[in-house]
Amino acid sequence: MSSPDSTSPAKRGLGRAAAWTAGWLGAAALYLLLIDTVDLPELIVAAGAAVLAATGFELAREQQTAGGLRARLRWAGTLHRPIKKVPSDIAALTALAVRQLVRPRPVNGEFRAVPFRCGDEPKLETGRQAMAESFGSFSPNTIIVGVDAERELILGHQLRPGGGPEAIDVLGLGGR
């Protein structure tokens, strides 16, 4: 097995270019999704913002200031789950807000902890936990507080409690 320093400069350059391009594409797509317009001035700003974001991403990746995160490609196959929950969560939280206006309660929601097995590979575990926390908080009803690796639990808060462990570990990464 070769160390990162033993790779050829050409291979390192290709890796950097691929990572920068992936960062640029992701940032540009997110910008376009957020602004929801394709006017020429906005496209120019989007390209510039994506350049800055991709450069920052690549600098952080090269310096490993992002903690050396790693992920598995198969985890991306579960990213549709939190998106599918958004419409039903919006409807449920709208009903909860109306109920709160009519019959206020001092406390709404609850904290829930569900099992989240942790492994031995630190970089991979950091990436898995980061995905579980960030995408688990995508839908408006659930906010993931964090993963307790020592107790092997993922902690989340739901305004409208419900569902099994999959309601907190939305991506299903806790079972690895």
Whether 158 and 141 have beta carbons less than 8 Å apart is answered as yes
Sheet bearing 110-115, strands edge to edge:
110-115, 153-158, 142-148
Task: Give the relative orientation of helices 9-35 and 40-63 as an angle to the nearest 10 degrees.
Answer: 140
| DSSP element (H, E) containing 143 | strand 142-148
Residue 148, pLDDT score: 93
Residue 118: what pLDDT?
87
pLDDT in tens, 114-146: 999 988 887 778 888 888 898 999 989 999 999
Rounded to two decimals, what is the model's pTM?
0.62
Q: What local confidence, expressed as pLDDT, does residue 1 receive?
A: 44
Given a cut of 70, the residues of the chain with pLDDT beneath it are: 1-6, 64-71, 176
Separation of alpha carbons 28 and 52, rounded Å = 10
pLDDT of residue 130: 85
Please tell me the predicted confidence (pLDDT) of residue 70.
60
